[in-house]
Amino acid sequence: MATPSLALPFATDLAPAAVKTARATGTRLTVRGLSKHYEGLAALDAVDLDVGAGELVALLGPSGSGKTTLLRVIAGLLQPGAGAVHFDDTDATRLSLRERGVGFVFQHYALFRHMTVAENIAFGLRSRPRSRRPSKADIARRVQELLALVQLPEHGGRYPEQLSGGQKQRIALARALAIEPRVLLLDEPFGALDAKVRVELRRWLRRLHEQTGQTTLFVTHDQEEALELADRVVLLRDGRIEQVGTPAEIYETPASAFAFDFIGRASTIDGEVRDGRFGDGHAIAALPTDSAPGRARLYFRPHDAVLADMGFAGRVADIRRLAGVTTVEVELAHGGTVEVDVANDVAVPERGAAVHVKPRRYGVFAY
């Protein structure tokens, strides 16, 4: 996947003038050796992270993996035990939230209930010291631009309680963008919304990002959201970075058993690595990478395997037909069950039939 600032079409005639400014000043974010401990537990353990100017990076990981801690340290809401945060060439590690100029949206972003939508968006600009505060007319213009940008141009006079959950989060985003932040930090912003709205909003956010080119770090525990939305995905596990890559790299070549399990569907076969090959006693597979001899587990995606004449032997245990794809569940002769996805128009052996499973793309990891 190409660098977004080069590859993405910039809708010049659509984007308001103030938004173009934000794009031109996209900030590079660099994190080095960041650690944070809570009573001996490492919430962050020597994290290195690079986010390019104008890039949208998803921080993905299970609950408790350190995503919020990392975001809060970058924002300046939390001091790290060790390490540094740079915005472009400026060391921001000791700067306050306000000095860093970051925009923040949380899962449950409390808009001010007693203020209209327009007043909410204007809040960050109005509360600036007089010397740096734009004029009333400029603030009003900026608010109208932002309302147009988040596609709620007529909603400025409403109160938060008159908005749907999805509209509230779009206003929260407009409010975060109002100060022209150097970096936009989003912590599960769509996490509290229902599935259909979440899907709509992530596509909307992706288009918005293509217009603004705002450097963005987006936290989620939802792999689909991360893979669909981001230029690059950073997979976190227990306060450490497990893998970094484009969505395609993360999905197609998971670097560890954890990455295979956490992202997408995975089937596994237990066996052993011997003489440079993986075997389960019935069949063998060449190793995709060097693996040490010993107990190992082969991982593959159900759509990366076929039913063939040779391979891991078993019997069809179940057949499930879903929109567009048929999943064949195979009980292996050597123990365990795996799944193979085939197209709906392909003939499938019936339940109980003897078959062989041949993974075409897979990873082998010791355990």
Residues that bind ligand ADP (CB under 6 A): 38, 41, 43, 61, 63-69
User: Looking only at residues 28 through 67 of this chain, which bind Mg ion when binding is defined by CB under 5 A?
Assistant: 67
Q: Which does 165 bind (CB under 5 to 8 A by kind): ligand ADP, Mg ion, none?
A: none
Q: Which does 243 bind (CB under 5 to 8 A by kind): ligand ADP, Mg ion, none?
A: none
| Minimum gap (Å) between residue 33 Cβ and Mg ion | 22
Distance CA 250, CA 234 (A): 9
| Minimum gap (Å) between residue 220 Cβ and ligand ADP | 10
Q: Are 366 and 294 a contacting pair, CB within 8 Å? A: yes
Q: Which does 27 bind (CB under 5 to 8 A by kind): Mg ion, ligand ADP, none?
A: none
Distance CA 199, CA 212 (A): 20
| Minimum gap (Å) between residue 67 Cβ and Mg ion | 5
Burial of residue 181 (CB within 10 Å: 0-12, 13-18, 19+) is: buried
How distant, in Å, are the alpha carbons of 120, 309, 329, 367 from that of 339? 50, 17, 5, 21
| Minimum gap (Å) between residue 192 Cβ and ligand ADP | 15
Q: Which is nearer to ligand ADP, 78 or 284 (CB)?
A: 78
Q: Which does 38 bind (CB under 5 to 8 A by kind): ligand ADP, Mg ion, none?
A: ligand ADP
Q: Which is nearer to ligand ADP, 66 or 245 (CB)?
A: 66
Q: Which is nearer to ligand ADP, 40 or 129 (CB)?
A: 40
Among candidates 192, 263, 254, 204, which has minimal Cα distance to 229?
204
**At 312, which amino acid appears?**
F
Q: Which is nearer to ligand ADP, 15 or 241 (CB)?
A: 241
Instruction: Work out whether 69 is an interface residue with Mg ion (CB under 5 A).
Output: no
Q: With contacts defined by CB under 5 A, how many residues of the chain interact with Mg ion?
A: 2
Q: Are 265 and 339 a contacting pair, CB within 8 Å? A: yes
Q: Which is nearer to ligand ADP, 15 or 234 (CB)?
A: 234
The stretches of the chain forming alpha helices (DSSP H) are 4-7, 17-24, 67-75, 97-100, 117-126, 136-149, 165-177, 195-212, 223-229, 247-252, 257-262
Among candidates 193, 43, 35, 47, which has minimal Cα distance to 108?
193
Distance CA 351, CA 165 (A): 46
| Minimum gap (Å) between residue 48 Cβ and ligand ADP | 17
Cβ-based neighbour number of residue 151 at 10 Å? 13
Of 27, 68, 169, 211, the one binding Mg ion (CB under 5 A) is: 68
Query: Which residues are near Mg ion by CB under 5 A?
Result: 67-68
